[in-house]
Structure 1
Amino acid sequence: MNSLRARLLAATAVLLLAFIVLTGVALETAVSERADQAEHDRLQGLSYALLGSAEITADGGFKLAPRVLPESDLTRPDSGLYAMVLDERGEAIWRSPSLLDPLALETLPAVGEWQFMRIYPERGTLITLSFGFRWVTDDGTDYRYTLVVAEDARTFIKQMQRFRGVLWTLLSAAALILLIVELFILRWGLAPLRRLARNLANLQAHEKRRIEGRYPDEIQPLVSNLNTMLSNDQARLTRYRNALGDLAHSLKTPMAVLRGLAEDERLDENQRRGLRNQLARMNDILDYQLQKAAAAGKRSLAVSIAIAPIAEKLARALTKVYAEQGTRFDVHIAASVKAPIDEGDLTELLGTLMDNAAKYGDGEVDVRAETRDGDLHMQIDDNGRGFGEGSTERLLERGVRADTSREGQGLGLAVAAEIVRSYTGDIILTRCEKGGARVEIVLPAE
């Protein structure tokens, strides 16, 4: 999960879900306990009313006339509200007309204690409240009784089910609304980061070298540092190139003097030939070092440039250079293929490799480039004799040549390798389908 907004939204959703669940459970528990307490109080009031209307006979019998029952439901058979009295042996000695069969209790409360519980007879769940009490007759006889008041729990259960349904529906709707609101809040809060990302993308797509606009206090230092880095990067590159230009210019006069000496007829021919060879080596080495140092290399937020126009421009120029050999350059690169590479570096890279392919090939040079998995893949093929047998890694070193029959100092592939490596890329030397050499270059997008 690489999206910052997705991470924040997921974390918020988990916390909100936990809060909603805990809130729902707490409310449901509180309401259930309150409903049980209300049912307990109702049955307790009914028990007091029954005890207040009861009479105990001399032989310990319990009498309660139907006409004095405090609730009319107690007089209707199977009405859902029931009452009965048990003796000390747990046998029913009285029951309300509404109770057709005595209720079975597993335990009886002690004298003076209330026992609130649910029982599950065959006809359904009942909420029961039992009370143990003693009755002493006028002759001093002590009797132990248990008054049981029960009510059908179906209505109570349905009410609780409706409450739970309403509760969780409202909580779910509230959670959904809060998530939507949180999404908008995150979108609003992360808008500066999205704007910064767009500006960074614009830096790569255009020639702008500065991030414009004001940002929140938490992001503004980052933007300021990026602008400073971009400015320093550009200034440093300019200084390097100016210094290299000055160096090249300052060496022109000494090199010209040495060339004049190499053509001085007063010197022996062997001396002049040796001097010319050393001057040629100095010139090649100087060119290599200047090209190596002048390569811009991978820069921060480099602008992506199209490959095809540069390759086609080089192909037209080299076609004229190798017109006598009749070398044909075929460029197969789509206009959409781009790479974040300095234009000068790309020109130097392609120019060197295409020139090598024309020089050591047999009249055909193919240049291809495509983007795969975000990386740039380029290959330059020729129809020459190829790189030969053995390891090709040494050919990327300065001064190493695969074909010594042609003029050269073995610097072309070394320069190309330096440029590719400055962009953390790879350069691979293989044999193509035509039998000639293939130079494959992979430049990573990141």
Structure 2
Amino acid sequence: MTNNAIKTWLAESIFSRSLKARLIVSALLFVLLLLPVIGFALNDAFKEQMLASAKEELSAYMYSVLAITEVEQGQVLLPEVLLENRFNLINSGLYALVSAPSNDDKLDQLLLRHKQHIVWSSASFQGQEKPYRLPKPAMGQMDFAEIQINNKPHLIFSFSANFASHAAISGSASEAESSSPEANSSSANPTSNFPVTIHIIKDKRALLIQINAFTSKLWNWLWVILVVLLGLQLSWLLWTLKPLARFTDELNRVEQGQGTQLSQDYPQELNVVAKQLNGLLRNEQNQRQRYRNALADLAHSLKTPLAIIQTQQGLSPSSQEQVANINRIISYQLRRAQSAAGSAWHLGVQAEKVTSKLCRTLNKIYPHIDIHCHVDQQVIFRGDEGDLTEMLGNVLDNACKAAKHQLRLTVLSTGDQVIIHVEDDGKGISQEKQQGIFERGVRADTYAQGHGIGLAISLDLVTSYQGQLSITESAHLGGAKFSFIFPN
């Protein structure tokens, strides 16, 4: 089966045929899609918050280092021991660096593309590999980024500042003392700008550990929430759809003949449907009963005059035959008109109930025939009990007439079909006569009596139920085999 065929089958079997499946699958997909999105959003927000917190922390360290930084004669001066103890511990994961522009062209070409070189580092940076590149933000600006030191991720916060560097004073102190105040005022120490960039570096592994711990706990809780939400949604959907399930059960009971009406204890939306269906059922039942009563009255009113005519003395044989034909035609048409196949959707009867009655009756009429009935008690014939009795009764009666010693009746269900087999051990029916035997007034030579109308009535009834009736040879008994197939 191809992927497209599988998708089509899933779409038809799940979404097209079941409203409950649609709602449940939609709710599951909603939860399965929503919670991961929430998880990723929360995790990303936590990472951003942790990075912002780390930036604020490094910014505070940078200002503490900037406050004690001095530049004299082109050299950066900082205390050997800083206030933050981690700057004083080797490999503590927190480092402070000060870089300045390089005037060494050779050094610039070989090492530092940004014309920066480290002019001071904290004690904690001893033994660490010097970064290949250091950020150089614009003067008075800050930069927050990530670098690799010893192939490990680190966060770096950089700030560029400009210091005034005082030049050396020429001459002796005596010359300075002999000079006048005006001269001293005019010969103040010259100054020059000395730009530096302060870098605070922190190992990122501690931050990653916190993020991973939060991520793990977040997804664990999301899984718990997912299971709880799925359980709650499933329970809620089943409770919401419970009236639909009860509605379906009542329809099935009506279809199987176990009820005639639907209860009206439903929510407002379904109550209207149930009320209309009940009205339809009542009207159909009343109409069918009126038809049957009218047909019964018609049959009685016609058969009585015909019976009187048949008892008349001196009636010619041709007249007797015509009266008999009229009688058969009336019986045939009345039986067809009384069929309930058109309204069989809400009718149903257990096949075993009908077959057991027929077998008991036939055992009394044909005591010399051994009748074996193999009927699945779960099989439901979706139609009128009288119609099933008429169809099977005609075929069984003819089979008993044709049988020598045995007759077998089998009723089974294949899920979507109800199959009935009637077999006898008689002479069977030739293929030439298998079609003609169903015609009105035609009977096989096997049967010594009857007018040939019963099988025609059975075939018409089977056809009205969208079923099939066929004749073959019985593989078990050797005689004829009549097979009924009805949609279930």
* TM-based fold match above 0.5: yes
TM-superposed CA distance for 1:218, in Å, is 0.8
**CA offset digits 1:226-267 (Å, max 9, x no partner):** 211221221122111101101101102331343144xx32x6
SS in 2 for 1:442: strand
1:388 equivalenced with 2:430 (yes/no): yes
* Counterpart pick for 1:94 among 120, 128, 134: 120
Output the aligned Cα RMSD. 2.4
Q: Does the Cα contact within 8 Å between 2:264 and 2:274 map onto a contact in 1?
A: no
Could you tell me how far apart the structure 2 residues matched to 1:121 and 1:390 are?
A: 100
Q: Which residue pairs with 1:413 in the alignment?
A: 455
Q: Which residue identity does 1:12 align to in structure 2? A: A
Q: Which residue pairs with 2:76 in the alignment?
A: 62
SS in 1 for 2:149: coil
SS in 2 for 1:87: strand
Cα 1:416–1:375 change in 2 (3 A) is same
Cα 1:238–1:416 change in 2 (3 A) is same
TM-superposed CA distance for 1:94, in Å, is 0.6
Q: Does the Cα contact within 8 Å between 2:264 and 2:271 map onto a contact in 1?
A: no
Q: Which residue pairs with 1:173 in the alignment?
A: 224
Q: Does the Cα contact within 8 Å between 1:327 and 1:363 map onto a contact in 2?
A: yes
Cα 1:397–1:444 change in 2 (3 A) is same
Could you tell me how far apart the structure 2 residues matched to 1:41 and 1:288 are?
A: 100
Structure having the higher Rg: 2
Identity over aligned residues, as a percent? Answer: 31
**CA offset digits 1:282-316 (Å, max 9, x no partner):** 11111111111112225232233242x43343334
Could you tell me how far apart the structure 2 residues matched to 1:172 and 1:242 are?
A: 68
TM-superposed CA distance for 1:399, in Å, is 4.0
Q: Which residue pairs with 2:331 in the alignment?
A: 287
* Counterpart pick for 2:345 among 297, 300, 303: 300
SS in 1 for 2:140: coil
**CA offset digits 1:159-209 (Å, max 9, x no partner):** 111111222222222222222221221122112122223333443566431
Aligned ranges for residues 206-245 of structure 1 at < 5 Å? Answer: 207-245=258-296
**Number of aligned pairs?**
433
Q: Which residue pairs with 2:482 in the alignment?
A: 439
Q: Does the Cα contact within 8 Å between 1:87 and 1:93 map onto a contact in 2?
A: yes
Could you tell me how far apart the structure 2 residues matched to 1:35 and 1:236 are?
A: 79
Q: Does the Cα contact within 8 Å between 2:400 and 2:424 map onto a contact in 1?
A: yes
TM-superposed CA distance for 1:135, in Å, is 2.9
Could you tell me how far apart the structure 2 residues matched to 1:14 and 1:340 are?
A: 39
Q: Which residue identity does 1:77 align to in structure 2? A: I
TM-superposed CA distance for 1:114, in Å, is 1.9
1:258 equivalenced with 2:326 (yes/no): no
Cα 1:7–1:391 change in 2 (3 A) is farther
TM-superposed CA distance for 1:363, in Å, is 4.3
Q: Which residue pairs with 2:375 in the alignment?
A: 333
Which sits farther off after the overlay, 112-121 or 395-404? 395-404
SS in 1 for 2:472: strand
Cα 1:222–1:393 change in 2 (3 A) is farther
Q: Which residue identity does 1:86 align to in structure 2? A: S
Cα 1:313–1:37 change in 2 (3 A) is closer
**CA offset digits 1:379-413 (Å, max 9, x no partner):** 11122332312484454343444438845443222
Which sits farther off after the overlay, 93-102 or 422-431? 422-431
Could you tell me how far apart the structure 1 residues matched to 2:208 and 2:271 are?
A: 60
Q: Does the Cα contact within 8 Å between 1:134 and 1:143 map onto a contact in 2?
A: yes
1:196 equivalenced with 2:227 (yes/no): no
Could you tell me how far apart the structure 2 residues matched to 1:233 and 1:106 are?
A: 92
Q: Does the Cα contact within 8 Å between 2:438 and 2:459 map onto a contact in 1?
A: yes
TM-superposed CA distance for 1:343, in Å, is 1.6
Q: Does the Cα contact within 8 Å between 2:350 and 2:377 map onto a contact in 1?
A: no
TM-superposed CA distance for 1:111, in Å, is 2.5
Q: Which residue pairs with 2:393 in the alignment?
A: 351
Cα 1:391–1:153 change in 2 (3 A) is farther
Could you tell me how far apart the structure 2 residues matched to 1:400 and 1:92 are?
A: 118
Q: Does the Cα contact within 8 Å between 1:230 and 1:300 map onto a contact in 2?
A: no
SS in 1 for 2:34: helix
- Please, what TM-score do these two structures have when normalized by structure 1? 0.89
Q: Which residue identity does 1:283 align to in structure 2? A: N
SS in 2 for 1:438: strand
Unaligned runs of 5+ in 1: none
Q: Which residue identity does 1:233 align to in structure 2? A: E
Q: Does the Cα contact within 8 Å between 2:438 and 2:455 map onto a contact in 1?
A: yes
Cα 1:432–1:368 change in 2 (3 A) is same
Q: Which residue pairs with 1:310 in the alignment?
A: 354
Q: Which residue identity does 1:199 align to in structure 2? A: E
